[in-house]
Every structure is written in C-alpha cells, then in structure tokens.
C-alpha cells in the first residue's frame, strides 16, 4: 500500500450527484475547513494592475487591443 491512507484528509464538500463527501485530498484554508482544488482553493484572482492586464490579454475579445486600451478598460471596471 502506497502512502499513508490513515493520515489522508479529504475535502469536506459534498458531491452534488449523490451527497457523499468529495474524495479529493484537501488543503487547510484560513477558516479551518479542508477544501480541495475542485471546491475552492488558494487563488483569489489577480489584485495588481499588471496581473489583471495579463488575465485580460488572454481573453479572446481583448487579443487585438494594446496594453493602454486594456488598462483603460480595467480602470473603468473598478
């Protein structure tokens, strides 16, 4: 048997289709709950203007726009 199954901590979310607990390995969040990569996680999105610019540049509707145009759109949204 590989690993330490008795020490494995599962995600505390419930599966939608049968109500059983999720069987993915969980990570401890700030609120003390174990959550897996499918049911929430570490990332809360980009906070800086540079990070948001990088995200917007990957979207199809912003592919042809310059950095300045996208920055103007980001500032208008916030």
Chain mean position to CA 4: 27
Q: What is the pLDDT of residue 1?
A: 46
Span 15-39, average pLDDT: 82
Tokens linked to 49 = 């203007």
Domain boundaries, the chain: 7-42, 45-78
pTM exceeding 0.85: no
Q: What is the pLDDT of residue 70?
A: 92
Evaluate if residue 67 carries a pLDDT over 90. yes
Residue 53's closest CA among 42, 69, 32, 41? Answer: 69
């Amino acid at each position: 048997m590989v690993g330490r199954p008795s020490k494995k901590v599962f995600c505390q979310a419930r599966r939608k289709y049968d109500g059983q607990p999720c069987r993915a390995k969980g990570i401890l969040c700030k609120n003390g709950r174990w959550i897996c990569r499918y049911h929430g996680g570490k990332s809360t999105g980009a906070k800086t203007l540079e990070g948001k610019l990088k995200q917007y540049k990957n979207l199809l509707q912003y592919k042809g726009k310059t950095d300045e145009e996208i920055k103007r759109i980001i500032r208008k949204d916030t």
